[in-house]
C-alpha cells in the first residue's frame, strides 16, 4: 500500500497529532485502570484523566464538564441524541425538522423514527447549500419536538445559520440538536450563545483518535440511553470508558483551542490558492456558499469528467469523490443533488479537505497533478 500520498481528505479523518498520541500512550500501559473502579489508585488515576478530558472538551465548546457524554464517535452521538430524546414522545405523533443534506448518521436514525410513527420534515437547501430560515419557521408546529440541523457540511463545508436556528428554536420552545462533527475544533463554538441543546462531535475529525466522540447534552435535558448496563455517563451511555481515547480527545480539544485561529487563517489562504488555480481549468466550478463555509474545504466539479476515473488517475493525492458509497452501489452525492446539481455533475466532483499538517508545497503538487490528469482525461 502506497502511503506516500499527499493527504487532502481531512474531512474523512485527520491524522492523530503527535502531542495527542504522546498524551494517550501511558493510558494503554502503566495507567490502565478502569475509570469506574472506586476502590484503588488505578481507578482514581483513570477517573482523574477522564475528568480532565471532560474539562478540556467542555472548554472548547463553552459547556460545563458534566454536560459532556462520551460515546464511540459522532454516529453513536447522533443516534443517542435523536433516539434518546424522542423516546418519551413515542405514540404521540411527534414531529422533527431536519434537512436533506444531513450526514447519513442523522438521516438513517430519522428514517427509523419515521418507521415507528414520527413525522420528519426534511428542509431543502438553496444552490449554495443553505437552508431557508423562513421555511424552517413555517414548518414548526405544536407537535414539533426537535430541530436537527448540521453545523457544517462534510462534503462542502457550508455552515448553516446556527445562531438564528437556535433563536428560533428557543422562541418556539423546540429542542435544537446539531451534528457539529466537521465544525468543532475548526471554528469557535459556544453552545450557550448559539442556543444549542444537543451537539455531537468526534475526536478523529480534529486530530484525535478514532472510535471516541461526545454528545453535548445541556443541563436538565434528559435523554434515554441506547446502551444500558452500569449507568455510566449519568445513565445516558453505559460501558467502560475508553480512557486512552478520551484522554486523546481531551488533548485534541486543548490543541484545537490553541491552534484554531492560526489553522483557520493559514488553511484559508492555502485553500484559496488551490481553488483559484483549479478554477483556471476549463469546465470547473466550486460548490457551496463562497463565505459561509469552513476555510479548509473545497468542493470542485469538473464538467464532463468521470470523477471515479479522475480519482484513479490522481493516485499520488488522497482526495474523495463528492458521493456516498453504499455497500453495493455508488450513488451520486445526496448533498450535491440537494443543492440542485445533476447526477452527472455530482459524479464529476471532488472534495479537497486540508488540515493542520497540509503544506503549501503539497497544494502546489496537488494542483499540478489535477491539471495533468484532467488534460489527459479530456484528450
Range in contact with ligand PMP (rule: CB under 6 A) among 20-28, 67-75, 141-149, 226-234: 67-75
Nearer to ligand PMP, 294 or 370 (CB): 294
Q: Is residue 105 involved in binding ligand PMP (CB under 6 A)?
A: yes
Beta carbon nearer to ligand PMP, 105 or 136: 105
Which of residues 182, 242, 284, 333 is near ligand PMP by CB under 6 A?
182
Per CB under 6 A, the segment of 73-81, 91-99, 141-149, 327-335 that binds ligand PMP is 73-81
Q: Give the nearer residue to ligand PMP in terms of CB position, either 45 or 178.
A: 178
Residue number with CB closer to ligand PMP (140 or 246): 246
The C-alpha atoms of residue 156 and residue 170 are separated, in whole angstroms, by 28
Does residue 150 touch ligand PMP according to CB under 6 A?
yes
- Go through 209-246 and write b for each residue having 16 or more CB atoms within 10 A of its CB, e for each that does not: bbbbbbbbbbeeeebebbbeeeebbeebbebebbbbbb
Q: How far is the CB of 72 from ligand PMP (least distance, A)?
A: 7
Side-chain half-sphere exposure of 261, counting CA atoms within 13 A: 2
Beta-bridge mates of residue 352: 298
179 is a contact residue toward ligand PMP (CB under 6 A): yes
- 216, 80 contact by CB (below 8 A): no
Stretch near ligand PMP under the rule CB under 6 A, chosen from 179-187, 234-242, 287-295, 311-319: 179-187
Q: H or E segment at 215?
A: strand 213-217
Pairing mode of beta strands 213-217, 198-202? antiparallel
Q: Which residues contact 311 (CB under 8 A, 6 or more apart)?
A: 319, 320, 321, 350
Interface residues with ligand PMP (CB under 6 A) are: 73-75, 103, 105, 150, 154, 179, 181-182, 202, 213
Amino acid at each position: 500500500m502506497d502511503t506516500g500520498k499527499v493527504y487532502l481528505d481531512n474531512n474523512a479523518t485527520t491524522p492523530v497529532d503527535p502531542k495527542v498520541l504522546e498524551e494517550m500512550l501511558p493510558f494503554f500501559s502503566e495507567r490502565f485502570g478502569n475509570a469506574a473502579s472506586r476502590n484503588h489508585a488505578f481507578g482514581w488515576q483513570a477517573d482523574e484523566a477522564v475528568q480532565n478530558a471532560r474539562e478540556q472538551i467542555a472548554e472548547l465548546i463553552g459547556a460545563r464538564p458534566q454536560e459532556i457524554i462520551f460515546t464511540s464517535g459522532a454516529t453513536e452521538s447522533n443516534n443517542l441524541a435523536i433516539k434518546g430524546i424522542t423516546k418519551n414522545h413515542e405514540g404521540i405523533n411527534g414531529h422533527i425538522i431536519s434537512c436533506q443534506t444531513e450526514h447519513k448518521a442523522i438521516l438513517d436514525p430519522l428514517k427509523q423514527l419515521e418507521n415507528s410513527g414520527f413525522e420528519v420534515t426534511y428542509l431543502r437547501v438553496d444552490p449554495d447549500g443553505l437552508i431557508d430560515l423562513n421555511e424552517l419557521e413555517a414548518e414548526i408546529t405544536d407537535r414539533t419536538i426537535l430541530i436537527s440541523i448540521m453545523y457544517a457540511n462534510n462534503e462542502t463545508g457550508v455552515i448553516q445559520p446556527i445562531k438564528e436556528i437556535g433563536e428560533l428554536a428557543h422562541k418556539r420552545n423546540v429542542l435544537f440538536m446539531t451534528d457539529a462533527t466537521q465544525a468543532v475544533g475548526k471554528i469557535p463554538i459556544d453552545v450557550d450563545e448559539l442556543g444549542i441543546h444537543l451537539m455531537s462531535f468526534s475526536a478523529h475529525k480534529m486530530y484525535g483518535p478514532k472510535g471516541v466522540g461526545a454528545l453535548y447534552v445541556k443541563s436538565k435535558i434528559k435523554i434515554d440511553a441506547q446502551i444500558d448496563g452500569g449507568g455510566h455517563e449519568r445513565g445516558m451511555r453505559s460501558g467502560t470508558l475508553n480512557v486512552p481515547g478520551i484522554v486523546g480527545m481531551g488533548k485534541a480539544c486543548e490543541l484545537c483551542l490553541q491552534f484554531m485561529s492560526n489553522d483557520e487563517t493559514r488553511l484559508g489562504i492555502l485553500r484559496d490558492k488551490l481553488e483559484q488555480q483549479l478554477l483556471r481549468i476549463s469546465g470547473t466550478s466550486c460548490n457551496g456558499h463562497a463565505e459561509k463555509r469552513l476555510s479548509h474545504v473545497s468542493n470542485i466539479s469538473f464538467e464532463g469528467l468521470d470523477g471515479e476515473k479522475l480519482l484513479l488517475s490522481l493516485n499520488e493525492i488522497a482526495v474523495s469523490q463528492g458521493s456516498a458509497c453504499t455497500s453495493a452501489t455508488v450513488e451520486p452525492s445526496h448533498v450535491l443533488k440537494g443543492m440542485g446539481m445533476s447526477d452527472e455533475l455530482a459524479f464529476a466532483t471532488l472534495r479537497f479537505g486540508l488540515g493542520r499538517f497540509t503544506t503549501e508545497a503539497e497544494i502546489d503538487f496537488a494542483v499540478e497533478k489535477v491539471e495533468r490528469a484532467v488534460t489527459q482525461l479530456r484528450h
